[in-house]
Amino acid sequence: MPEILPNHAPSPRTPLVWDGTAYRAVRGHTDGTVQVRGEDQLFSFKGVVAEWRSLLLVGADGYIESTAVPGGECWIITTVSGTDAARAFTRASITNLHDGVPVTLRSEDKAFGVAEHANWSGHTYLDVGDRIRMYFTGGQNNDSCTISITGYRMTVET
């Protein structure tokens, strides 16, 4: 990568990177992609989140959760869907359980039929230990409920 000097100036559209000593032009490939080292990234793609769980509600108006994000990862969740397969329910609340605090993504009051899905789509982040939690108002103890989430897994670069 050439150093940026007055006698070696890049075009105004050339992306630059600071290497700790000088600005340098970002190296590109003939197919138009840019070469980026891991330490130059905020995070890198690791894989797909595609989880489906079937759990029993604990208590009336209970909830079910996704698995927790493992260490060294960040999950970007793009869809959540859930249902109570045992009985009708009257409210569905989908939350991002971040550091133990449920942050509401969607809450809907309506007469959901048995096995009718409540859905959310968007973009929310989960870090280590975080989960997606779905509450079922009107559900009863031991109702069989499902939750499915999709998105992608990232690794945190250090």
**Taken in order 62, 129, 124, 83, is the CA torsion positive or negative?**
negative
Q: Do 50 and 119 share a structural domain? A: yes
Answer yes or no: are the C-beta atoms of 95 and 132 closer than 8 Å.
yes
Please report the pLDDT score of residue 5 as a whole number. Answer: 58
Q: Do 132 and 64 share a structural domain? A: yes
Percent of the chain with pLDDT over 90: 64
Q: Do 128 and 52 share a structural domain? A: yes
Q: Do 117 and 94 share a structural domain? A: yes
Residue bearing the bigger pLDDT, 93 or 14: 93
Q: Do 21 and 71 share a structural domain? A: no
Q: Do 52 and 18 share a structural domain? A: no
Please report the pLDDT score of residue 15 as a whole number. Answer: 66
| Rounded Cα gap, residues 155 and 116, in angstroms | 35
Answer yes or no: are the C-beta atoms of 133 and 62 closer than 8 Å.
no
> Which stretch of DSSP H or E encloses residue 124?
strand 118-126
pLDDT bracket for residue 130 (50, 70, 90): very high
Q: Do 65 and 24 share a structural domain? A: no
Please report the pLDDT score of residue 82 as a whole number. Answer: 96
Q: Do 142 and 122 share a structural domain? A: yes
Q: Which stretch, 6-20, 24-38, 122-136, has highest mean pLDDT? A: 122-136
* pLDDT tens sequence across 43-65: 678 899 999 999 999 888 999 99
pLDDT bracket for residue 13 (50, 70, 90): low
Q: Do 147 and 76 share a structural domain? A: yes
Bridge partners of residue 104, in order along the sequence: 95
Structure tokens at 144: 């069989």
For residue 88, the enclosing domain spans 43-156
Edge-to-edge strands, sheet with 63-65: 63-65, 131-137, 89-98, 101-112
* pLDDT tens sequence across 22-31: 776 666 666 6
Please report the pLDDT score of residue 44 as a whole number. Answer: 73
126 by Cβ neighbours in 10 Å (0-12 / 13-18 / 19+) ranks as buried
Q: What is the mean pLDDT of the chain?
A: 85
pLDDT of residue 81 exceeding 70: yes
Q: Do 62 and 20 share a structural domain? A: no
DSSP 89: E
Q: Do 53 and 6 share a structural domain? A: no
pTM over 0.75: no
The domain total for the chain is 2
CATH number reported for the structural domain that contains residue 134 in this entry: 2.60.120.1330
Q: Do 100 and 80 share a structural domain? A: yes
Structure tokens at 20: 């700790």
Edge-to-edge strands, sheet with 73-84: 43-56, 144-156, 73-84, 118-126
